[in-house]
Amino acid sequence: MPGKNKAMEKAVSANSTADRAIEILLAFDAAHPVWTPTELAKHLNMPRSTIYRYFNSLKHYGLIIEDRDGGFQLSAKVVELARVAKSTTTVMRIARPWLERLSEKFGEFTSLRELIGPELVPVDRIDCRHHVRIPYLRNTTLPWPATAGAKVMLAFASPKELEEMFKLFTPVAYTPNTITEKSLLEKELERVRRQGYAVSNEERDEGVSGVAAPIFSGGRLAYCIALGGPAFRFVGNNLAQMTDEITEACEAITADLTKYEL
């Protein structure tokens, strides 16, 4: 099948290109913080023209910079990526015991989430231990925010961030409980700010409820922890315990992030 073979060759070529770019980036280390194209070509046993081509691409994307002597070194963007990786790893290490504690107590789907654009990106998670369970939590605020995690992330966003997010939203009545009027949603977000946590009562999916609370870093909203499960377990005293426990967990994680200046 000629078409299929060409597609496979293209995929292999793309992988080879990515592999070489990564190999070049990984050649930079404490012992070799600067490389000239000639030196790196010899070190990696590649043609110098190939090294030049990759250097130009990496330079275009701001991953390396060229010095006055014709040498290349990693840019501040790579340092920033490393900082993000370190921060996320540290946050997971700090938050994991609290996720385990919440999971052990309530047995519900438990997750640590970060808001990136309109997406609630899972950083860590523990699955539900009950026989009656939900398979996942929603990972987006679009087209209309209705989950507990989405409410928390919007409630504690900056006014500018909130304004930009609302430009992306289109009201959708997912269930009879969905708050579809912007003015009512804004009142709900104000309540979330006052009480320090959010509850979604079958507002995104019928039969599914959740609670969430914010985690701050450097005075800004950074993450949230969310619990989700069948609505019949998110009521009464059990719900009150969930909101108390999740708020305590997020406040403790915030305190640790502040202490470590993350």
When mean pLDDT is compared across 36-40, 61-65, 127-131, 198-202, the lowest value belongs to 127-131
pTM strictly above 0.85: no
Whether 134 and 128 have beta carbons less than 8 Å apart is answered as: yes
Binned at pLDDT 50, 70 and 90, residue 13 comes out as: very low
Calculate the alpha carbon distances from 142 to 12, 78, 190, 231 in Å: 35, 31, 20, 22
Q: Residue 171's domain spans which residues?
A: 86-259
Residue 81 inside a domain? The answer is no
Residue 135 confidence (pLDDT): 63
Q: Which of 150, 247, 147, 231 is nearest to 194 (CA)?
A: 247
CA dihedral 135, 233, 110, 182 (to 10 degrees): 90
Calculate the alpha carbon distances from 7 to 15, 17, 18, 183 in Å: 12, 15, 17, 51
Residue 107 confidence (pLDDT): 95
Q: Is the pLDDT of residue 8 over 70?
A: no
In the chain the beta strands, taken as DSSP E runs, fall at 34-35, 64-66, 72-74, 109-116, 119-126, 198-201, 208-217, 220-230
Quote the DSSP letter at residue 213: E
Q: How many other β-carbons are positioned within 10 Å of the β-carbon of residue 123?
A: 17
Assign residue 204 the CATH number of its domain.
3.30.450.40
Taking only the tens place, the pLDDT of each residue in 61-105 is 989 999 888 899 998 888 777 767 766 678 888 999 999 999 999
* Region 44-70 average pLDDT: 92
Residue 118 confidence (pLDDT): 73
Q: Is the pLDDT of residue 211 over 60?
A: yes
* Region 203-215 average pLDDT: 96
Taking only the tens place, the pLDDT of each residue in 135-150 is 666 767 778 999 999 9
Fill in the amino acid letter for 174: Y
Give the count of domains, the chain. 2
Same domain assignment for residues 119 and 221: yes
Residue 90 inside a domain? The answer is yes
Assign residue 60 the CATH number of its domain.
1.10.10.10
